[in-house]
Structure 1
Amino acid sequence: LSFLAALCSAGMAVYILSRAPRAFVHQIFAGSLMVLAVEAGLTGMAFHEITYTEVTPWQRYLLYPYGLAPGIWLLFSLSFGRANYREFLRRWKWAAAGVFALPLFPLLLFPEEIFLGAPITDESSRVFLSLGWPGYFFYLCCLVGAVLVLMNLEKTLRYSVGHNRWQVKFLILGAASIFGARIYTGSQVVLFSFLEVEVQVVNVGAILIGLILIARSLGRAKLLHFDFYPSHSVLYNSLTVLLVGIYFIAVGVVARAFFYLKGGLEPVVTTFLVFAAILGLAVFFLSDKLRLQRKRFITRHFRRPRYDYPRVWAQFTARTASVSTLGTLCNHVVNMVSETLEALSVTLWVWEEQEETLSLGGSTALSPGKDGPLRIGGKGTRNLMQTVCQETQTIDLGESADGWKEELKRLLTGPSGETKVDLCVPLCAAGQLVGILAVGSRVGQESYPFEDRELLKTIGDQAAANLQTLRLGEKLQQAREMEAFQAMSAFFIHDLKNLASRLSLVTQNLPVHFDNPEFRTDALKTISQSLDRINGMCSRLSLLSQKLEIRPRAMDLNELARRALAPL
C-alpha cells in the first residue's frame, strides 16, 4: 500500500509539472506531491524493517519528509487559486520559514533524543515508540503546520464560486483528507507522548484517498490557474480552527472517559470515529447539489419562496454600495449571482461602444488574458447589441435559440464553446447598453424557473445603473485630470518661455560683448541658472509617473523661502 501511494504520488507530480512547467503553482504542487511520495516510500521501508528491540534508521529517515510536508504544502495553499499570491507569500514569509525550520530543528540538533529507549509492545503486539522532548516538539510543530495549510485551503474554497468552485472543490478536499489524517495521528502523539507505529498506515491511506480526489479535480481543470482574492484575515471565522478545537476537546473527553471507565472501545478507535464523523460532515455539507435540494424541499413542502428577497437585496446593496472601480463591481455581481442561483458559470461583459466589442468585466469561469481583458465581437456587433438592448426581459439562449439569439449565443460562448450560456440579461441604463450578464447552467443541469429569471432581471437592472454611474464617474475623473494637466502645463510653458527669453538675450549679445569679461561671467551665470531651473522642472515632472506620498516634517520656513528666492 505504501509503495503504491508513493508511485501514484510521483506519477501525479510528473503529470502536474508537464502541464505547465513554468507556472509557480504547478512547480510547488509537484514538489508537494514528491515529498508525499518520498514519505510513503519510507513508510513502506520502515514497516519492512520493523523490530521490537530498537528504533530502525528508517523510522528516523521518515521524519524528514514528514516534517517538510507542512512547509511546502503551506506555500502551495498560499499560491493556489490566488491572483495576488506574491502578496500572500510576502506577508506569510516568516510564518512559512517557521513551518519549514522548526520541525527540522530537533531532527538536526537532537536526532538521538527524538525517540527514547527501545520500542514498547503491548499484549496485542502493537509497537509504540516513546518520544523525548525533541520528538514531542517536532510533532507539535507539524500539527500546527497542518492546521495552517487547511486554514488557507479553506479560505480559497470559501472565496471560490460557480464553475471555479466546481473545479477546485475535490482538490481541496483531497488535501484536507491528507492533512486531516495528519492532525489525527499527530494529535495522538501530542496527547499521549507515544507514537504507535501501525497508526502511520493511516497517513498512507489518506494519501491514496487524497490522490483520488485530486485526480478527479484535475479531470475537471487541466491547469491550476484560478484568480481568487481572499482576505488577509485568516483566523477570523475559520472553520478549520473550529473543527480542530472540537476534535481536540472530543479526544480529551474520550481519553478521560476511557481512563475512568476502562472499558468499551479503545481510545484510538473512538477518536478515529470522532474524526471520521467530523470530516464526513464537512464533506457532506460542501455538496452544491445538497444545498440546491434543500432549497427546493423547503419551497415545495413549507410553501416558502425560493429566495429571501429582502436578504438577497440587502447583501447586493452591501457588496456594491462602496465599490469604486468597475472591475470590483463586476466581480461582486457575478459572484453574488453564482451563489444565489447556484450557477456554475456567470460572466459579465462590458460594452465598449467606440470599439464595438465586449470586454470581460468579471467571471466565475473565465480569467483575463495576459495582454489585458478578454474581448469578443468587433465590427458589425453594434446592430446585434441594439437588438439586445430593446429586450425588456431575461433572454433564454437554450437549445431552441434561433435568429439573432443564435448569433448572440455564438458570440458569448466563443469559437470553442468553452462557456455554456443558458440565460442572458441585457444591462441597460438610460436607454444605453452598458453590458451583458451571461449565466450558464446550474448545479445538476436544472432549468431556471420564473422566480430565478425575475430575480436575475432585477439584479441586472441595478447592476446596470451602478455600472453606468461608475463609468460616468471615470469619465468625470479623466476630465478633471486633463483639466489639471492643462493648468500644470500652462505653468511649465510659462517658465520655459521665461528661460527661453533669457537664453535668447544671451545669445543675441554674445557676438557683441564676448570680449567683455563681466559679460562672460554674467552669461555663464545665466546659463547655469537656466540649466538648474530646467533640471528642477524635469525632476518635478518625473514625480508625476510615481505614486505621490505625502511625508510631513518640521522645517524652517525662512530657510525654505531663502532657497526658493536664491536663483532669482
Structure 2
Amino acid sequence: MAEVATWSYGLAAVSYLLFGLYIFVAWRGALPGGVLLTAVLLSCLWALASAVNAWQPGETSLVLSAVLDVLRGAAWFAFMIVLSLPLWGRRLRWPALLAVGVLVFQLVAIVLEGVFDGGTLGLQPVLVAWLAHSIVGLMLVEQLYRGIPVSSRWGIKPLCLALAAGYIFELYLFADAFLFSRIDPDVWAVRGLAHALLIPLIALSGTRSPSWTLRMSMSREMVFHSTALAGAGAYLLVIAGAAYYVRFFGGDWGRALQMTLLFAGLVLLGALLFSGALRARLRVLISKHLFSYRYDYRNEWLRFTQALSAADKGLDLGQSVIKALSDLVESPGGVLWLRDQYGSCTMHSRLNHPPMTAVEPLESPFCRFLDERGWVINLEEYRLRPGHYEGLKLPPWLSAFGDAWLVIPLKASDSLIGFVVLSSPRAPFEIDWEVLDLLKTAQRQAAGYLDRMLAAEALLEARKFDSFNRMSAFVVHDLKNLVAQLSLMLRNAERHRDNPEFQQDMLETVAHVESRMRGLMTQLQEKRSIDPARPVDLVPLLKSVCEGKRGQLPAIEVRVEVDAETEVNAHPQRLERIIGHVVQNALDATDEDGKVAVTLGEAEGKALSIVVQDTGCGMSADFLRERLSRPFQTTKASGMGIGVFETRQYLNEIGGQLHFDSEVGKGTCVTITLQRVRRAQ
C-alpha cells in the first residue's frame, strides 16, 4: 500500500496547497480567516511529510509527520475555538482547556514514548492520545454547532459536517489500532485523500460566513459537478462491492457474473449521467438545499446573453431564445410566436416540439392580457386557481397544447411582439418570485433582440421593394413606347379600312390593350388603384378570367354553387388580376393530364368563397408556413415572388382572406373569402 499512500497524501498536499492559496488571496485580515489559513497550510505540510514517509519510510520522516499531525490538529482546534469565542462570551471555557491538555498529551507521548516499529506506532499511550484527540475534536464540533442559533446554522453546517466526518474517520482508525495493536495499512493509506475530500465543504462554509472576512465564492457549476462526481463515485463503489461479493461467493460463475454486473452498472451509470431529467433534478436539489438563492445571476446572465448574441449549433435566433428561456427553468423546449405584418402572432420557431398552425390576433383577449399585465402565466397554477389570473381567457389552441407549462410574454418598447410557450420541465420545478423575476428580466432582453430582428427583416423587405420600384420605372418607360406605337397603329388603321369587319375587330382589340396599358402605367406611376372600389359581380369576372386562360393545358372547369347575390365590394381590375394570378399559378403547377377547377360557393358569415383546386405538384408544409406569404419567395425559375404577397395584401385591404391547403404530390387548394355587398332593405 506504499504507492497508494504516496498518491493519497500527495494529492491531499496539492489540494490543501491550492485551497491555502485561494484563502490567502481571499483573506481580508480577520482572525477566523487567518486561523483557517494556518490550519490549511499546516495540513498541507502534514500531508507532504506523510507522502515522503510513505515513499521513503524512515524514523525522522515518521516523527516529523506525527509532529505536524499534532500541529495541524491544534490549528483546527484553534479555529473552532475562535469561532466559538463569541458564543462563550469572549472567555475560554473547559472544552478549550481540555483541547490544550490533549495536545500536550500527544506531544509528550511522541517525544517520550515514541517507539516506532516497522512504520507503525507501537505504544498504546500514543494511540490513546490520538483517540482522545478525535473525541475532543468531535466535542468541539458539537459545542460549536449547538451554540450557534438555529437561524444561523445554515452557514456553519458544511464546516461542522466536514470536521465531524474527519474526526470520525480518525476515531475509527485509532480505535481499530488500539484494539488490534496495529494500524490498518489500508485505512492509513487513504487517510490523506479522505481529509482532502472535505475541502469543498469547508470552502462552502467560507462562502456562507461573512464574519470570516473571506471573499470566497463557490460556483454552482463546481458544486453541481462535484456532487455529480461524488455520486458517480459512490455508485461505482456500490457496484464494485456487489461485484466483489458475487465473485467471492459465486463459485465457478463468480468471475463471469462479476464482469456482467460491472458492465451493466457502467451502462446504467452512462445512461444516468447523460439523462437531462436526472441533471435537472440534481440542479434543483443543490439549489434548494445548498444555496440561499436559486440562481447564480452572473453566470446565468452571461450564458443567456451569449445564447442570444451568438446563435449557433444550427439554431436560429428564435430557437436560441426558446433554449435560453427553457434552460432557466429546466424545460426541454417550446414554441415561439411573433407578430406579423397582418396584426397576428404566428409560429416563428420551435424547439423539441412539433409544428403548430395556431394564429393568435394581437387584439384577442389573450394577447391583450399579456400586453397589459406582462405576467408569466403558469398554466398549472391557472388550472388550480384561475381566480389568480382574473381576466385571462385561454385560446382553444392553447388548451389543446398538451404539455404547455409557462407562457412568457415578449415585450419591447412597452408593446407585445410575441410570446413563448414552454413545455413541461424535465423534473418537478417550483415557480416562485425569484424565477418569475428572472424570467421577466430575461424576456425583456430576448424581446429586444427579436424586435431588432423584425426591424431588420422589415428594412430588408423595404429595400427589396425599393429595388422593385426602380425596376418599375423602366417598365413604365417601355409601356410609354408601346402605347405610342399602338396609338399610331390605330390612326393608320382608321385611315385604311380595306376589310371593315377585320378592321373593326382589330380596332376593338387594340383599343382594349391600349386602355389597359394606360391604366397599368397610371397605377405604377401614381401608386394608386386604377379605379375606385365598387360592387363587382363575381360570376362574370370568374368567367372572364378563365376565358382569358383558354388555350392553356389543362382546361379549367368553372362551377357556380351560389343562388343568391354574388356581388362583392372591390376594385374590378385588381380583383381580376389577383384571381388571375391564383388561377395561373394552378395552371403552371399542373401537368397537361391534370385538372384545375374554379368554384364559387358559400362561406361562413354570409360570405363568398372562390376555391381554386388543382392536381399539380403541391407545396411542402415548411414552404407554406415560412416562405409563401413573404415577398420575393418563389419556387418558379422565372417568378418574382410578389404575387401571393400582393394577393394577401389586397384581400386584407378589402376585408377578405386567403388560405392555402397543399400537399406535395397531391395538389393545392386556394380559398379566397370575400364579403358580400350589403344591400339596403
TM bucket normalised to smaller:
0.3 to 0.5
Instruction: Give the greater-gyration-radius structure (CA).
Output: 2
- TM normalised by structure 2 equals 0.32
Higher helix content, 1 or 2: 1
